[in-house]
Amino acid sequence: MTSKTLIILFFLATIKLTAQDIAVIQYGGGGDWYSNPTALPNLIKFCNEQLNTTINRKPQVVTPNSIDLFDYPFVHMTGHGNVFFTQEEAENLRNYLLSGGFIHIDDNYGMDEYLRKELIKIFPNKELIELPRNHPIFKNPYNFSQGLPKIHEHDKNRPQAFGIFEDDRLILIYTFESDLGDGWENPEVHNDPQEIRLKALQMGANIINYVFIN
C-alpha cells in the first residue's frame, strides 16, 4: 500500500460519522455531468423533511481525483454521454469506495456503454450485479416490491439497479433505464405526474437512507 493510499485512508477515517453532505462528481470525457440541476436539491429537501436528515441543500461538486471526495459519505453521478476516468482518478475512486464511501450513478440516458468500461478501471476484478427485489435498499423506508421503479421511458427496457460490493457491503449502485434524476427535478421540467415524481423521490430517499441511516 502506497503512502498516498495510507494518507487517504487516514483522512477518511477522521470524517465525522454524522456528516451528511452530498457531492456531484464532475467527470471527464465530455458527458454532461451537470445535467438535472434541480434534482439533488429536491431530493435533499424531501429527505430532510421525510427522513429527518440534515443534508446541506446545496450539493457540492468534486472531481474524481480530488482529496475533497473523501469529505462526502455519498456522491452522485449522472449524465447522458461519454464518461472517462484517468488511472489516477480510478485509483482515487477505488480508495474512496473501499474506505467507506458510496456512489450512486443514475443513467440519464446514453451513458451506459461508456460507464461500464470505466468502472472496470476502478474495479478490474468486480462486476456489476443486479440487485434482487428483496434487497434492503428497496424496502426502507419505502417499499418497492417490484424493485427499481420506472420513471421515464427510453428504450422500453425494464428498470434495473446494479451494485458493486466489497464483501457484503454495497458500495456503488447504478440505476439504469429508470431515470430517477428526471423524476427528482422541478415539476415543470418534465411535467411528470405527481405520483411518478413521488416514486422517484421515495426511491432516492431509500438510497439516502441506506447510506446515512441504515
Name the residue type at position 211.
V
The DSSP bridge pattern shows strands 102-107 and 60-62 to be: unpaired
Answer whether the bond into residue 37 is a cis peptide, omega within 30°: no
CATH class of segment(s) 3-212? alpha beta
Between CA 100 and CA 13 the distance in angstroms is 9
- Domain residue limits, the chain: 3-212
Residue with cell 478490474: 124
Cell numbers describing residue 128: 456489476
Q: Between 36 and 190, whose confidence is greater? A: 36
Q: With contact defined as beta carbons under 8 Å apart, do 123 and 139 qualify?
A: no
User: Is 184 exposed, middle or buried (CB count within 10 Å of its CB: 0-12, 13-18, 19+)?
Assistant: buried
3-state secondary structure (DSSP) of residue 51: coil
What percentage of the chain has pLDDT greater than the value 90? 80
This prediction has a pTM of 0.90
Q: What is the mean pLDDT of the chain?
A: 90
Residue 204 CA neighbour count, 13 Å, CB half: 31
Contact assessment for residue 106 and residue 78, using Cβ atoms and an 8 Å cutoff: yes
pLDDT digits (tens, 9 = 90+) for 127-151: 999 999 999 999 999 999 999 999 9
Using one digit for the tens of pLDDT, what is the confidence trace for 18-31? 467 899 999 999 88
pLDDT (0 to 100) of residue 63: 98
Q: Write the DSSP assignment of 111-128 as a string of letters.
A: -HHHHHHHHHHH-TT---
